[in-house]
Amino acid sequence: MTVVKTRTKTLLSGSFRWLAIAVATAALVACVVPAVHADQITDDNAAAMMAAAKTPEDHAALAAYFTSKAEAAQAEVEKHEKMYHSLTGRTRQNMAMHCKAIIGSYQNQAKAYAAMARQESKLAK
């Protein structure tokens, strides 16, 4: 009988140990996943990340992503404006419509991304 009790204690100790490991692992994953989630938003998965966003951290990560996209689009506006203003004479006349279309497109992107960033920031609060 003593052998059975000793063996039962050992089995229970092992079960509790595995339960403790499982709980600790789940807690660790819960803490780590939002940070990994935030760092992995890309152009290819942004829509899926938006659909999966549930926590303020998720929305804050999306706001940061869209802010960076708005800043990149604004940098393209400035780059293309410099190129356009560096052109002279006939070349500038020939390229005017093309350059203005590209500049306008990037301006629209910057505005749209900034609006999405503001919306995600609101959801993060």
* pLDDT, averaged across the chain: 80
**CA dist 92 → 33, 57, 105, 106, 107 (Å):** 51, 47, 19, 19, 20
Least confident range of 4-13, 56-65, 92-101: 4-13
The average pLDDT across 60-81 equals 95
The DSSP code sequence of the chain is -HHHHHHHHHHHHHHHHHHHHHHHHHHHHHHHHHHHHHHT--TTTHHHHHHH--SHHHHHHHHHHHHHHHHHHHHHHHHHHHHHHH--HHHHHHHHHHHHHHHHHHHHHHHHHHHHHHHHHHHH-
66 and 117 in contact (C-beta within 8 Å)?
yes
Q: Please state, for a pLDDT cut of 90, what percent of the chain lies above it.
A: 60
Split at pLDDT 50, 70, 90, the class of 118 is very high
| CA distance linking residue 93 with residue 29, whole number of Å | 59
- Please count the other Cβ atoms lying within 10 Å of the Cβ belonging to residue 103: 18
Tally of domains in the chain = 1
**Higher confidence at residue 44 or residue 36?**
44
Residue 33 has pLDDT above 50, yes or no: no
The length of the chain, given as a count of residues: 125
Residue 66 has pLDDT above 70, yes or no: yes
Least confident range of 11-15, 46-50, 62-66: 11-15
For 13, residues 6+ apart whose C-beta sits below 8 A from its C-beta are none
Which residue segment(s) compose the domain that 67 sits in?
A: 2-124
